[in-house]
Structure 1
């Protein structure tokens, strides 16, 4: 499986299923990583290929002043890891680098090195690349080198949210190098791995409903804790090792703990995986590193051409407005890209189904107005409290972050509209059509090293 390019985590999960459960394998996941890391350390990039690659980086640096590259060598002065990014990657990261997806499940080229794209989402809701790396192993030290290099290439700007798979070495490196970032684990990988630990519970419909509710559908931390406790108690799972481990990591994968963090609507490293599927089309087991880098740059050109085409479409077109002459929709139509406007409009229409009912106020606290919020079609009870400060300032609304189920895309935050027009609108700059144009006017300094 290793020679076929199957990731270690996937191979371990598959073997665990074949053996009925992972405990029957006779070794743990860390043993598998250690074994294959020893194999990779003995895999050497041939001198001719290494020279060709380094010469390309040097020539690129001479012709493109803002091109950044870095290489890590082993004790034998052979290439272990390398990272590259061009000027456009830097500009894109300045505009859209608040959410970064890092995936290590793809391997290509004849050395079976790990391909690590740094991927985000731009203002048209399409993939954007911030850089590309190749790694010879998945050790904590290699990830620390990679993230440190990435951070240096972006002049110290940390992402707000980082998505990765559940690799302990990578998790440790994220915590060390990106201490201020909100680290999210890929839900898709967790759900792929979970059945190998559930045994007969895989056939229990109610258990799976509770598990998925904990993953995605709890609206608050309190609800998560309640549902989790019910699941553990009902199925007597108090000593379940894997679930206990996942509970300790709940802040990294359960959406109930991340509603207050911007994630551009992501729940998984799917953006990286879709990028991998594109890279697979331009690489195979016979290709050299130099050839792969050239093909990667061709993919970049196609993506950037698509972005330019979307920019042109937005510049010369206006969206179809469901509610004509609505002041908020008119305002947003002139601000957001067409794709993002479509998402906003859908949220706006949904918000019309919300009923705000003013609650009796206490005289001592009469500077605040409390509302109960509920859906017109769900009249059985209120599902949210909303406290509005009755003052015309930029802070004229305040939502309790522990209770609020905010859309992680944060197109609107929240839909507070007064009869006299729009007040206190908070626009998420990530989706602003003008944000990249403003950033692109600035100049940055180049950096390359060997």
Structure 2
């Protein structure tokens, strides 16, 4: 049966499958290239749901490479982000010929083409040199963060001193200023005698890409590591076997992504149809947060409301346009935070910069909300990404054609979501099914006439190829990743 399915060769069958998806999903995107022998080298794909998710949640991007997912040992790159339920969403995927700088540049450039050249604010990777160089060239303005988990593992591997990993982690996550970090770091290096340690010197040179003191205020949607990528790789391994042919691979990958999208639909239903129990004395403010935020976002904000009990005002300065509150913490009198409140435009800004980093108002802001008797969270302190309306499209006049295209596929995603709800109710009985079927057929004819009157090309094929020859199967590649079992001459003992 497998031979019959891939009678036109494996690469041709996989590309035919993607082409078939493009016929069904009119906003499906795929792109590939071939070598001199017309063998498939790299190919990238993203469906309409992934592209719509990127339009809504494109601020923070993470990507990593996983191995042993297909018969050709082609590395799989999955580009992910965080949605309004704090779940991992897939923006796009690619199978690569190697892990060189040029290949990663091709992935990122193709990704930007698929996403209307909308660039992310921040990127998280494991620190691979080829990835870093590609990001620097293709996404020069994105804030690049190195994975904290990989750094701690490297610290344990390279520095064989007891408790150094925990000491390094404290330096990495300390929330002080850059000057305070420098003081703590140099003191640590001097005390442990690391002035000549090569790894410590190298990692210090990269401190602006991993130290919290340098990164606070940069928005990463709560991501400090590539853990979401690692979790995604572990999840995909349940569907992707080691020796899958490409045709089988793309099918199994689709099954895996469909399950992830169903999890988002379930979280949407719970947020919109469940009532959370209010548990703080600030019931008016808490109730407003319930109506605005998704369930997971609300729980994070409520934790800040509870932490606000530990803080109190120790200083106050006021002028015509701004009031500045100085806060201290119970049993930590030496620690100070400053919150600026502008009553005219109702904005809050805290020196801890948690809102700028994560998008959730901090406990210090909640203290000032209490002092100012605010019954609602100011609109300036509500990040749309974490709200129930994160995927609602607010129509605005586009500035250029790119914005117009972005509006187009956000509308496409909204209609797709509405049709899913219609299908659920219409499939309940035979009569409702027939009525919906007839109405959809009539409406489809009308919409097709409108579409044809304003036709736009949307097809994407191989790199610049209008008529392509038959694409041959790729060669088996050598990767940097897990080599699997290594043959040895030693016999395993019983």
Regarding TM over 0.5, the answer is: yes
Please name the residue that 1:9 is paired with. none
Of the three residues 307, 320, 325, the one matched with 1:371 is 325
Does the aligned pair in 2 maintain the 1:329–1:345 contact within 8 Å?
yes
Tell whether the 8 Å contact from 1:163 to 1:268 is kept in structure 2 after alignment.
yes
What is the rounded CA distance, in whole Å, between the counterparts of 1:246 and 1:68 in structure 2? 39
Q: 2:411 aligns with which of 425, 428, 442?
A: 442
Q: Who is 2:421 aligned against?
A: none
Once residues 447 and 352 of structure 1 are traced to their aligned partners in structure 2, the CA distance between those partners, rounded to angstroms, is: 57
Paired position in structure 2 for 1:309: 266
Residues in 2 aligned to 1:443 and 1:412: alpha-carbon distance in whole angstroms: 32
| CA positional deviation for 1:379 | 4.0
Instruction: Report SS of the residue matched to 2:361.
Output: coil
Instruction: Please report how far the alpha carbon of residue 324 of structure 1 lies from its aligned counterpart in structure 2 after TM superposition.
Output: 5.7
CA distance in 1 between counterparts of 2:252 and 2:38 reads 26
Distance in 2 separating the partners of 1:431 and 1:128: 14
Closer/same/farther in 2, CA of residues 408 and 320 from structure 1, 3 Å limit: farther
Measure, in 1, the Cα distance between the counterparts of 2:68 and 2:20. 26
Distance between the aligned counterparts of 1:259 and 1:180, measured in 2?
17
Q: Measure how far apart 1:146 and its partner are.
A: 0.3
1:146 correspondence with 2:107: yes
Q: How does 1:242-391 map to 2 (within 5 A)?
A: 242-323=199-280, 326-359=283-316, 368-376=322-330, 378-389=331-342, 391=343
2:339–2:350 CA contact under 8 A, matched in 1: yes
Match of 1:433 in 2: 388
> Is the CA contact (8 Å cut-off) linking 2:78 and 2:90 kept in structure 1?
yes
Aligned residue in 2 for 1:188: 149
Match of 1:412 in 2: 361
Q: 1:325 to 1:253 in 2, by over 3 A?
A: closer
SS of residue matched to 1:108? coil
| Separation of aligned partners in 2, 1:360 and 1:149 | 52
**Are residue 238 (structure 1) and residue 238 (structure 2) matched?**
no
Deviations 1:272-301 (A, max 9, x none): 111101111111222111211111111111
1:50 aligned to 2:11?
yes
* CA-CA distance at 1:155 after TM superposition: 0.3
Paired with 1:422 and 1:285, the residues of 2 have a C-alpha distance of 53
| Mapped contact 1:106–1:116 kept (Cα < 8 A) | no
Q: Which runs of 5+ in 2 are unaligned?
A: 1-6, 395-408, 414-455, 463-494
Q: Look up the SS of the partner of 1:180 in the other structure.
A: coil
* Contact kept in structure 2, 1:114 and 1:135, CA below 8 Å: yes
Match of 1:97 among 54, 58, 69: 58
TM-score, length-scaled by structure 2: 0.74
Aligned pairs for 1:210-249 within 5 A: 210-249=167-206
Q: With structure 1 as the length reference, what TM-score do the two structures score?
A: 0.81
1:340 partner SS = helix
1:31-46 maps to which residues of 2 (within 5 A)? none
Tell me which structure has the larger Cα radius of gyration: 2
Higher relative contact order (CA 8 A, sep 6+): 2
Aligned residues: 393
In structure 1, how many angstroms separate the alpha carbons of the residues matched to 2:170 and 2:374?
A: 40
Query: What's the CA shift for 1:58?
Result: 2.0
**Contact 1:220-1:404 within 8 A present in 2 as well:** no
- Sort the Cα spacing of 1:370 and 1:338 in 2 relative to 1 into closer, same or farther, 3 A: closer
Matched, 1:393 2:342: no
Distance (whole Å) between structure 1 residues aligned to residue 91 and residue 11 of structure 2? 23
**Are 1:79 and 2:40 an aligned pair?**
yes
Aligned partners of 2:325 and 2:340 also within 8 Å: yes
Structure 1: gaps of 5 or more residues: 1-45
| C-alpha distance in structure 1 between counterparts of 2:271 and 2:350, whole Å | 33
Q: Deviations over 1:383-437 (max 9, x none)?
A: 3233445x4224x44444xx64658322116333112534644111111111213
Asked if 2 retains the 8 angstrom alpha-carbon contact of 1:220 and 1:405, the reply is no
- The alpha-carbon deviation at position 380 of structure 1 amounts to 3.1
CA distance in 2, matches of 1:334, 1:346: 17
Q: 1:26: which partner in 2? A: none
**Aligned-pair CA distance for 1:447:** 4.7
Shift of 1:115: 0.9
> Aligned partners of 2:115 and 2:391: how far apart in 1?
16
Tell me by how many angstroms 1:96 deviates.
Answer: 1.4
Whole-angstrom CA distance in 2 between matches of 1:70 and 1:215? 39
Give how far 1:335 is off: 0.9
Q: CA deviation at 1:77?
A: 2.1
